[in-house]
Amino acid sequence: MKETITIHRAKENDAHVVAKFVEKLLEEIMQKINTNAFNFDLEQTTKRLEEFIKSEKNFVFIAKEEEKIRGFISVYESFALYAEGAFGTIAELYVCPKYRSQGIGKMLIEKVKIFGSERGWKRLEVTTPPLPQFDETLSFYEKESFEITGGRKMKTML
């Protein structure tokens, strides 16, 4: 793990650089599944993220090394009876490929666990695609104490 990595909660003025990392994440996912699954617009994503951060719809934490962002995690708060109240869901987690396997993802998750605990969350959830291309992602989360709970993520457009 890099000793010089620090984790900070993102502010509105971090939205543009985080949005660029979202673009890299989505490109990586689409490359793995060989499908153009996401519509991405940097300007719109930046504006949306600024609003999410301002209104606390998303909580974003960034990993920095000497003022350069190496990764980020975004989470949002939900409420459900099955979860016994408030809980967090990881929406995105991305670490630059060059800096993976150095403990940065672990640090980001640990920061969110502390943050969530302070907010009274009972649990932290994440969805990974049930595809062989994401076996490494699944393994990473299992190493960080996540367990498979079943089901598949589904959506319908409104």
Domain boundaries, the chain: 5-143
Strands 85-95 and 124-125: parallel
Domain 5-143, CATH 3.40.47.10 — does that match?
A: no
Residue spans of the chain under pLDDT 50: 1
Tell me what pLDDT residue 3 has: 67
Q: How far apart are CA 148 and CA 145, in angstroms?
A: 10
- Residue 35 near residue 94 (C-beta atoms within 8 A): no
Q: How far apart are CA 105 and CA 9, in angstroms?
A: 15
